[in-house]
């Protein structure tokens, strides 16, 4: 779960260093007043860590999503497919491009449903966004193949799985563009922040200019003189965010290992049970939630009681459904999308996500697992 649990001395020192180096908080320019560019370093460290050719830091995951959509050319009248179990930001970003969000199902394992997506592709489909929800990787490689077949760009929302990977690479690096969030609830955090990753030079150049008012950003031209080459916006990250982000990135592997230890404790109580959300075969997710699915009758209520007795809460399911289920977003997706979301609402109503917290001891997870196991028999 969140990088906020491990925020400490290193992040405080990194913040102080920005002031000790002259207090330049802006990502660009002021060259004579400093010798450090934290945003640029955070970007290049991210490229190295995740093995991406290019990266563009942004203020948030939401602004990275909007930038990604603009970079692949989404505009008025276009359709963009994304899934029903999601975070509202994807649909908002599509809406903000004056495009139409088309909602496709998730399957019983809460993953992006390729079959339903295929049924929704048509000549107006300009992009597809797959979201890896709650630390478990979705079928991104199959979707990339579909994207190639139909010549549709794939945007990979990896905001909830930063640092997760499969045998072929890190999530966020499979699609044409991948997007991370570093908001306060994410695996690593800098308060608010985002990153766009891509191997496509054209998309990168678009993203770089779009996030900085459409300016050309030519290194040899003085900042005030660089030309505005396209419509853009201000989605810039600050030096303080980046200084903290760099420290958190160094902690990421350890954060995921700590998650995994706790996740495995719970998982060992329920080997291969159909009521536990499963990972795809070769997925090493980010293990920040342990999820019960397909619950029957009163099981969800009983699990909630056991969690309460053990002083544990839930994460998103069911406490933040309105943020994560398209059933609640008729204002963005219209009646058709709302109707299509009913099935997912039902699936999600029978699921419970338990947060994996590094500050909670292994013993506490042992006790919780034993209590839950006793209930399931």
Ligand X SMILES: Cc1ncc(COP(=O)(O)O)c(C=O)c1O
Q: Which residue has the tokens 């506490």?
A: 364
- Distance CA(157)–CA(140), nearest Å, equals 10
315: its two tokens: 């994460």
Nearer of residues 62 and 286 to ligand X, judged by Cβ: 62
What sign for the dihedral angle of Cα 230, 231, 235, 236?
positive
The least CB distance from residue 142 to ligand X, in Å, is: 19
Angle between helical axes of 239-268 and 362-376 (0-180°, round to 10): 40
The least CB distance from residue 89 to ligand X, in Å, is: 4
Nearer of residues 210 and 365 to ligand X, judged by Cβ: 210
- Identify the H or E element spanning 149: helix 140-150
- Which residue's CB atom is positioned nearest to ligand X? 61
Range list of H helices, 269-361: 299-309, 321-324, 330-340, 342-349
- Distance CA(74)–CA(213), nearest Å, equals 18
The least CB distance from residue 377 to ligand X, in Å, is: 34
Nearer of residues 41 and 92 to ligand X, judged by Cβ: 92
The least CB distance from residue 194 to ligand X, in Å, is: 5
- Identify the H or E element spanning 166: strand 165-166
| Cβ neighbours, 10 Å, residue 16 | 11
Nearer of residues 97 and 159 to ligand X, judged by Cβ: 159
157: its two tokens: 């929302």
Nearer of residues 60 and 125 to ligand X, judged by Cβ: 60
Nearer of residues 160 and 212 to ligand X, judged by Cβ: 160
- Distance CA(331)–CA(3), nearest Å, equals 33
Task: Show Cβ contacts of residue 369 under 8 Å, excluding neighbours closer than 6 positions.
Answer: 265, 266, 268, 269
The least CB distance from residue 182 to ligand X, in Å, is: 7
The least CB distance from residue 216 to ligand X, in Å, is: 27
The least CB distance from residue 32 to ligand X, in Å, is: 33
Nearer of residues 181 and 314 to ligand X, judged by Cβ: 181
Chain residues in the site for ligand X (CB under 6 A): 60-62, 87, 89-90, 131, 157, 159-160, 181, 183, 194
SS3 content of the chain, % helix, strand, coil (to 5): 45, 15, 40
């Amino acid at each position: 779960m969140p990088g906020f649990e491990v925020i400490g001395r290193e992040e405080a020192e990194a913040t102080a260093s920005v002031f000790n180096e002259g207090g330049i908080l802006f990502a660009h320019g002021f060259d004579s007043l400093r010798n450090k560019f934290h945003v640029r370093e955070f970007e290049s460290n991210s490229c190295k860590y995740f093995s991406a050719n290019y990266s563009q830091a942004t203020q948030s995951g939401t602004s990275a999503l909007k930038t990604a959509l603009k970079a692949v050319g989404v505009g008025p009248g276009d359709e963009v497919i994304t899934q029903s179990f999601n975070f509202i930001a994807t649909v908002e970003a599509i809406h903000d491009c004056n495009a139409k969000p088309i909602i496709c199902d998730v399957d019983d394992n809460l993953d992006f449903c390729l079959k339903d997506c295929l049924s929704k592709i048509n000549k107006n489909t300009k992009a597809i966004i797959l979201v890896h929800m709650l630390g478990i990787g979705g079928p991104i490689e199959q979707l990339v193949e579909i994207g190639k077949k139909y010549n549709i760009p794939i945007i990979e929302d990896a905001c909830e799985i930063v640092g997760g990977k499969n045998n072929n690479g890190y999530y966020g690096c499979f699609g044409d563009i991948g997007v991370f969030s570093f908001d306060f609830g994410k695996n690593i955090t800098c308060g608010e922040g985002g990153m766009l990753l891509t191997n496509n030079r054209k998309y990168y150049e678009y993203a770089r200019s779009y996030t900085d008012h459409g300016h050309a950003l030519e290194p040899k031209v003085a900042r005030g003189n660089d030309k505005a080459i396209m419509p853009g916006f201000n989605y810039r990250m600050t030096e303080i965010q980046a200084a903290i982000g760099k420290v958190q990135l160094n902690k990421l592997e350890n954060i995921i290992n700590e998650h995994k230890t706790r996740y495995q404790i719970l998982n060992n109580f329920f080997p291969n049970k159909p009521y536990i959300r499963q990972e795809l075969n070769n997925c090493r997710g980010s293990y920040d939630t342990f999820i019960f699915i397909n619950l029957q009758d009163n099981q969800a209520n009983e699990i909630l009681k056991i969690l309460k007795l053990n002083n544990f809460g839930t994460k998103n399911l069911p406490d933040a459904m309105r943020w994560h289920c398209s059933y609640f977003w008729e204002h963005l997706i219209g009646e058709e999308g709302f109707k299509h979301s009913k099935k997912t609402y039902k699936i999600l109503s029978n699921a419970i996500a338990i947060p994996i917290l590094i500050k909670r001891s292994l013993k506490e997870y042992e006790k919780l697992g034993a209590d839950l196991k006793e209930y399931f028999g």
